[in-house]
A and B are shown apart, each in its own frame.
Chain A
Amino acid sequence: DSGVTQTPKHLITATGQRVTLRCSPRSGDLSVYWYQQSLDQGLQFLIQYYNGEERAKGNILERFSAQQFPDLHSELNLSSLELGDSALYFCASSGSGSQETQYFGPGTRLLVL
C-alpha cells in the first residue's frame, strides 16, 4: 500500500459526459501528479500540482482540468468525454524535495461507452 488513495476504482460513463476523479496523497506530501495509461499512448504525464499551485503540464487535453485543494487532495475533471478517453488514470504524490520519489495510487479505470 503506497498511501495514495484514489476514488472511484472504476467508472463507466457515456460519451459527452463529465466525470471527476479524486486523489488523496500520502500524508505530508505536497506534490500530486496525474498520469493516464492507455493502450495507445502508454503511461503519460498529465499535470502536476504542488501545494495548491499548478507546477507542470504534460499532454493534458483542454477538456481535462485538475485542481489541488487546501487539504492537498486533488481532483481531475474530464469533460466532453470521448471513447478514446477510456484509460487507467493514476495519481501519484511526492514530497517537496528535488529527489523525491513518486508513489502511485491504485488508479481509476475509466470506461467511456
Chain B
Amino acid sequence: AQSVTQPDIHITVSEGASLELRCNYSYGATPYLFWYVQSPGQGLQLLLKYFSGDTLVQGIKGFEAEFKRSQSSFNLRKPSVHWSDAAEYFCAVGVLAGANNLFFGTGTRLTVIP
C-alpha cells in the first residue's frame, strides 16, 4: 500500500535562511510525486512534480525537490526563505493504473521569523 510520511509537523526558519522539508514515500511501483502548498484559508497550489527523468525538479517560487529512489525520499528545498513562504506544505504520491488519486502526507507547517 502507498503512504507518505512527513516527519516534521512544524518547522521554524528565519527569513533568508535555507529550507528543507522532508518527505518519504512507500509505493510498490515508480512513484509520481508532488509537493503542494496551502496558505491559510486557501486551497492547494502545486509547487512541483516528479514523473520521470531528471531527479532534481524545479518548481515555482524558487522551490526545488530531489527524488532519491534509494532513500524513498522527495525532499523539498529552497535556498532562501521569504516571509510569504509561511504556509503548510504537503507531499503526495500519485497512484496510477487508471486512477490518479493522490495520497498525501500529514503536512509540515512552516513558520518564518523575521
Chain A residues within 8 Å of B, Cβ to Cβ: 2, 4, 31, 33, 35, 42-45, 48, 55-56, 58, 90, 92, 94, 98-107
Does B27 make an interface contact (CB < 8 A)?
no
Q: Are A45 and B103 within 8 A (Cβ)?
A: yes
A48 near B45 (CB under 8 angstroms)? no
For chains A and B in complex, what number of residue pairs have CB atoms within 8 angstroms? Answer: 52
B43 vs chain A, min Cβ distance (A): 4
Question: In this complex, what residue of A is CB-closest to B99?
Answer: A56
Q: Indicate which residue in B44, B100, B101 contacts A98 across the interface (CB closer than 8 Å).
A: B100
Partner of A100, one of B44, B100, B105: B100
B43 touches A43 (CB 8 A): no
Q: How far is the CA of A58 from the CA of B96 in the complex (A)?
A: 14
B45 near A104: Cβ-Cβ < 8 Å: yes
Query: Given contacts A99-B32, A101-B49, is CB(A42)–CB(B99) below 8 Å?
Result: no
Closest chain A residue, CB of each to CB of B51: A99
Q: Which residues of B contact A (CB under 8 A)?
A: 32, 34, 36, 42-46, 49, 51, 90, 96, 98-107
Q: Smallest Cβ distance from B9 to chain A, in angstroms? A: 11
Partner of B46, one of A33, A58, A99, A101: A101
Q: Are B104 and A2 in contact (CB under 8 A)?
A: no
What is the chain B residue whose CB lies nearest that of A100? B100
Q: Which residue of A lies closest to B106 (CB)?
A: A42
Measured CA separation A56–B96 after assembly (Å): 11
Chain B positions within 8 Å of A103 at CB level: 46
* Minimum C-beta distance from B44 to chain A (A): 4
Residues on the A chain within 8 Å of B107, using CB: 42-43
Asked, given contacts A43-B90, A99-B51, A101-B49, whether A48 binds B43 with beta carbons under 8 Å apart, the answer is no
